[in-house]
């Protein structure tokens, strides 16, 4: 798929068919995350891949907004360590990695949605994380149950001319 098609077709998908994500597509999505830039190239992330239905269903209870994980073909848990110092850019860097993975998924027709994590103790237990690690986000992946991904002509966003300023505010 052309890049612009993937960028404009990406949307939050929270309901998925039973079709699994192929190993090849999943590898590429993870590789896009691994390649993402990060502050001082610290690469503060680890990715835990979950495909077991019972584990996905349990994971979906770690946050009120994580319900879509229960029916996902695959979920990727973004795990970070303890912040090294004030001003640490983990959140920004995780955002970059997430978008790289979502666009790569969209390129393969795979929908995605992400969620924050509330119950860290539960997430740590379900994912077997060391005590000093935090599950920052979950990314659900799968084929959309509603309609295939296709470029969106009128996204639900603030108008371009309101968001963009030329030269000065």
Q: What is the DSSP letter of 148?
A: -
Is the distance from CB of 89 to CB of 40 less than 8 angstroms?
no
**Window of 14-22, 88-96, 138-146 that interacts with a second copy by CB under 8 A:** 88-96
Least Å distance, CB 89 to a second copy, is: 7
* Per-residue x/- track, 43-62, a second copy (CB under 8 A): x-xxxxxxxx--x-------
Q: Which is nearest to 68 in space by CA: 111, 145, 109, 13?
A: 13
Q: How far apart are CA 33 and CA 2, in angstroms?
A: 19
Nearer to a second copy, 21 or 48 (CB): 48
Q: Buried b / exposed e across 136-146, counting CB within 10 Å, b at 16+? A: bbbbbbbbbee
**Of 31, 53, 83, 84, which lies in the binding site for a second copy, with binding defined by CB under 8 A?**
31
Does residue 103 touch a second copy according to CB under 8 A? yes
Provide the token pair at 4. Answer: 């612009």
Q: What is the DSSP letter of 67?
A: G
* Per-residue x/- track, 130-169, a second copy (CB under 8 A): x--x---x--------------x--xxxx-x--xxxxxxx
Nearer to a second copy, 148 or 167 (CB): 167
């Amino acid at each position: 798929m052309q890049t612009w098609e993937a960028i404009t077709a990406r949307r939050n998908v929270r309901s998925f068919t039973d079709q699994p994500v192929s190993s090849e597509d999943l590898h590429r999505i993870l590789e896009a995350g691994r390649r993402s830039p990060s502050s001082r190239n610290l690469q503060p992330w680890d990715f835990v891949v979950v495909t077991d239905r019972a584990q996905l269903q349990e994971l979906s209870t770690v946050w009120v907004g994580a319900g879509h994980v229960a029916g996902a073909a695959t979920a990727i848990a973004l795990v970070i360590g303890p912040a090294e110092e004030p001003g640490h850019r983990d959140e920004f860097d995780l955002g970059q990695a997430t978008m790289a993975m979502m666009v790569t998924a969209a390129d393969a027709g795979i929908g995605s949605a992400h969620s924050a994590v509330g119950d860290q103790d539960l997430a740590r237990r379900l994912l077997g994380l060391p005590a000093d690690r935090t599950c920052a986000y979950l990314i659900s992946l799968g084929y959309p149950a509603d309609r295939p991904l296709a470029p969106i002509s009128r996204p639900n966003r603030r108008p371009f001319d309101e968001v963009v300023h030329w030269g000065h505010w």
